[in-house]
Amino acid sequence: MSVTIDDVKHVARLARLGMTDERADQLVAELNRILDHMAVLEGVKTVGVEPASGVGAAGMPLRVDAGPPFPLARPPQRFAPSMRDGFFLVPRLASHEDVGDDA
Protein backbone atom coordinates (compact mmCIF):
# COMPACT_ATOMS: atom_id res chain seq x y z
CA MET A 1 0.00 0.00 0.00
CA SER A 2 1.58 3.20 -1.15
CA VAL A 3 0.31 6.65 -0.21
CA THR A 4 -0.26 9.07 -3.12
CA ILE A 5 -0.49 12.83 -3.15
CA ASP A 6 -4.23 12.50 -3.72
CA ASP A 7 -4.48 10.36 -0.56
CA VAL A 8 -2.65 13.01 1.45
CA LYS A 9 -4.83 15.82 0.13
CA HIS A 10 -8.00 13.81 0.74
CA VAL A 11 -6.99 12.95 4.30
CA ALA A 12 -5.91 16.55 4.96
CA ARG A 13 -9.35 17.72 3.84
CA LEU A 14 -11.02 15.19 6.17
CA ALA A 15 -8.79 16.42 9.02
CA ARG A 16 -9.53 20.08 8.18
CA LEU A 17 -5.90 20.86 7.53
CA GLY A 18 -4.75 23.16 4.75
CA MET A 19 -2.00 21.64 2.61
CA THR A 20 0.32 23.23 0.06
CA ASP A 21 1.53 21.04 -2.81
CA GLU A 22 5.07 21.25 -1.47
CA ARG A 23 4.05 20.07 2.00
CA ALA A 24 1.85 17.34 0.52
CA ASP A 25 4.83 16.06 -1.49
CA GLN A 26 6.96 15.94 1.67
CA LEU A 27 4.24 14.07 3.53
CA VAL A 28 3.89 11.49 0.74
CA ALA A 29 7.57 10.59 1.17
CA GLU A 30 7.46 10.66 4.99
CA LEU A 31 4.25 8.64 5.27
CA ASN A 32 5.42 5.99 2.82
CA ARG A 33 8.64 5.55 4.76
CA ILE A 34 6.74 5.30 8.05
CA LEU A 35 4.11 2.93 6.63
CA ASP A 36 6.84 0.73 5.09
CA HIS A 37 8.07 0.23 8.64
CA MET A 38 4.52 -0.72 9.72
CA ALA A 39 4.37 -3.41 7.02
CA VAL A 40 6.09 -5.83 9.41
CA LEU A 41 2.71 -6.24 11.10
CA GLU A 42 1.26 -7.88 7.98
CA GLY A 43 3.33 -10.99 8.66
CA VAL A 44 2.22 -11.41 12.28
CA LYS A 45 -0.31 -14.21 12.81
CA THR A 46 -3.26 -12.84 14.75
CA VAL A 47 -5.97 -15.37 13.94
CA GLY A 48 -8.11 -15.70 17.05
CA VAL A 49 -6.41 -12.79 18.82
CA GLU A 50 -8.84 -10.29 20.30
CA PRO A 51 -7.98 -6.66 19.51
CA ALA A 52 -6.88 -4.82 22.65
CA SER A 53 -9.52 -2.52 24.04
CA GLY A 54 -6.82 -0.38 25.57
CA VAL A 55 -8.49 -0.35 28.96
CA GLY A 56 -6.50 -1.50 31.97
CA ALA A 57 -6.67 -4.86 33.67
CA ALA A 58 -9.42 -3.70 36.02
CA GLY A 59 -11.78 -3.01 33.12
CA MET A 60 -13.82 0.13 32.75
CA PRO A 61 -16.03 0.83 35.76
CA LEU A 62 -19.10 2.82 34.79
CA ARG A 63 -20.33 5.62 36.99
CA VAL A 64 -23.97 6.43 37.61
CA ASP A 65 -25.27 8.26 34.58
CA ALA A 66 -25.92 11.43 36.53
CA GLY A 67 -22.65 13.25 36.19
CA PRO A 68 -20.82 15.01 38.99
CA PRO A 69 -21.07 18.79 38.98
CA PHE A 70 -18.45 20.26 36.70
CA PRO A 71 -16.06 21.91 39.14
CA LEU A 72 -15.21 25.15 37.39
CA ALA A 73 -12.96 27.36 39.47
CA ARG A 74 -14.38 30.44 37.80
CA PRO A 75 -17.96 30.96 36.64
CA PRO A 76 -18.44 30.99 32.85
CA GLN A 77 -19.00 34.76 32.97
CA ARG A 78 -15.35 35.13 34.05
CA PHE A 79 -13.80 33.29 31.11
CA ALA A 80 -16.37 33.35 28.29
CA PRO A 81 -15.80 36.07 25.70
CA SER A 82 -19.46 37.01 25.92
CA MET A 83 -22.70 35.66 27.46
CA ARG A 84 -26.40 36.42 27.34
CA ASP A 85 -29.21 34.75 29.30
CA GLY A 86 -26.83 32.01 30.48
CA PHE A 87 -25.67 31.14 26.95
CA PHE A 88 -22.26 31.67 25.34
CA LEU A 89 -22.25 34.19 22.52
CA VAL A 90 -19.88 33.32 19.66
CA PRO A 91 -19.25 35.00 16.31
CA ARG A 92 -21.42 33.81 13.46
CA LEU A 93 -19.05 31.57 11.48
CA ALA A 94 -21.28 30.23 8.75
CA SER A 95 -24.76 29.90 7.44
CA HIS A 96 -26.38 26.48 7.66
CA GLU A 97 -25.96 26.06 3.92
CA ASP A 98 -22.18 25.68 3.90
CA VAL A 99 -22.09 23.12 6.71
CA GLY A 100 -21.89 19.50 5.74
CA ASP A 101 -20.78 19.76 2.14
CA ASP A 102 -18.64 16.70 2.73
CA ALA A 103 -19.96 15.58 6.07
List interacting residues with another protein (CB under 8 A): 1, 3, 7-8, 11-12, 14-19, 27, 30-31, 33-35, 37-38, 40-42, 44, 46, 49-58, 60-63, 68, 70-74, 76, 78-79, 90, 93-95, 98-99, 101
Cα 99 to the center of its chain, rounded Å: 18
Residue closer to another protein, measured from CB, 18 or 86: 18
**H or E element in which residue 78 lies:** helix 76-79
Number of helices followed by number of strands (H, E) in the chain: 3, 2
CB of 21 to another protein, least distance (A): 14
CB of 87 to another protein, least distance (A): 14
Residue closer to another protein, measured from CB, 17 or 83: 17
Strand partners, 83: 88
Question: In 39-100, where does DSSP find H-type helix?
Answer: 76-79
Residue closer to another protein, measured from CB, 84 or 100: 100
CB of 93 to another protein, least distance (A): 5
Give, in order, the Cα–Cα distances in Å from 89 to each of 1, 40, 52, 99: 47, 51, 42, 19
